[in-house]
Structure 1
Amino acid sequence: MRILHTMLRVGNLEKSLDFYCNILGMKLLRQKDYPDGKFTLAFVGYGDETSNTVIELTHNWDTTSYDIGTGYGHIALGVDDIYDTCEQIKSLGGKVTREPGAMKHGSTLIAFVEDPDGYKIELIQISSQAR
């Protein structure tokens, strides 16, 4: 078994695709409209679905926003240079909600960004590159 995808409901598919593809650098892997159900599914990720976990963005045509709730945590992405990544995200119009730094009660370098719907994405430094 393996994890295939995580699904997020989004209020504006175009804004979400711009964020995940143009700001976080994912690729749109596939997208399909379901007119009878009035929704669209778009799958984004860093590699092919056959060997990578991806994100399913679900856009219900008649819903423009969602209450994220208290149960959702975040999606985590590994990055080589967390400082550079945050600067790139900001320069592309992305929102960094926690600047890079050591995690509370630990030494792992982390940062947080937020997508157009308010979902949190944690960035974790995975290389030995540190400043």
Structure 2
Amino acid sequence: MDLAHVAICVSDLDRAMAFYGELGFEETHRFTLDGVENVYLGRGEEADLQLRYDADRTTPIAPSRADVDHVAFTVDDVEGTFETAIDAGGAPVLEPTEIDAAGAFAAFVEDPEGYTLEFYRWL
């Protein structure tokens, strides 16, 4: 079994696409179903990230680490990806550091919507 994609709701599709575009994601395909725009972003052969935008949504999008702690991405350059994400509008959560218990070098950033992203490489 392989992970196909992770879907997140966004309040500003253009802002989300610009942010993830700065991280090297490109649109792979899109469709609209029941008024919700679904845009898939990918990085080569890796799993997709699905952005779901509903212009008629009346409730705020409120990502909570109590419900979805983070979405993790493997990267070759943790520090560089961390800086790119900050420059693209993300907010630092944890600067690049070794996490010995996990055997990883990782950094955490909050995206413009409030989702926490982890960028890591194995030690």
What does 1:1-131 align with in structure 2 at a 5 Å threshold?
A: 1-22=1-22, 24-34=23-33, 37-47=34-44, 51-63=45-57, 65-69=60-64, 70-103=66-99, 105=101, 107-126=103-122
CA contact (8 A) 2:42 2:48 kept: yes
Tell me, in whole angstroms, the C-alpha distance in 2 between the residues paired with 1:113 and 1:52. Answer: 20
d(CA) in 1 for partners of 2:101, 2:46? 31
In the TM superposition, residue 91 of structure 1 has moved relative to its aligned partner by 3.1
The more displaced of 11-20 and 107-116 is 107-116
User: Matched residues in 1 for 2:102 and 2:85: separation?
Assistant: 25
Q: How many equivalent pairs are there?
A: 121
Query: What TM-score results when the alignment is normalised by the length of structure 2?
Result: 0.83
If each structure's strand is expressed as a fraction of its own residues, which one has the higher value? 2
% identical equivalent positions: 27
Q: Larger Cα Rg: Structure 1 or Structure 2?
A: 1
Kept after mapping to 2: 8 A contact 1:43/1:57? yes
TM-score, normalised with respect to structure 1: 0.79
1:84 is displaced (CA, Å) by 2.2
Q: Distance in 2 between matches of 1:57 and 1:25?
A: 15
